[in-house]
Amino acid sequence: MALLFHFYARSFAGIFSDEAEVVAVAALCLEIIAYGYPALAFGMVMVQAFNGAGDTTTPTWINLFCYWIVQTSLAYVLSTSMGLGPRGVFITIAIAQTTLAVVGVLLFRRGHWKER
């Protein structure tokens, strides 16, 4: 899906709107977020591994950190303070998805889930 969204973003966006500005922003969104999709898939597997092991607290904290703290604050900074606008928000989504995967792997390797 990442490759399809990256290379055919305008085609997908065109399904939902005929307005050039809407298609341009939607295509930009799909192109940028597509970079984070492989990390998102891997991160989802890592988070669900904790759930499968009976550790539901760790995924809660990972999601809270990656999405509510990192993504929300970074989206604000990139879109406003750094002047990137919507592009900053889209970049932030890919960064948050990658952060989820990295944090998931690091915490999984620590092995505390085995104690649950």
Q: Rounded to two decimals, what is the model's pTM?
A: 0.88
Token representation of residue 2? 């990442």
- 110 CB-contact burial (10 Å; exposed 0-12 / middle 13-18 / buried 19+): exposed
Token representation of residue 74? 């970074």
At 7 the three-state DSSP class reads: helix
Does the pLDDT value for residue 116 go beyond 80?
Answer: no
> What are the tens digits of pLDDT across the range 37-59?
999 999 999 999 999 999 999 99
The Cα–Cα gap between 106 and 104 comes to 6
Q: What integer pLDDT is reported at residue 72 of this predicted model?
A: 96
> What are the tens digits of pLDDT across the range 101-110?
999 999 999 9
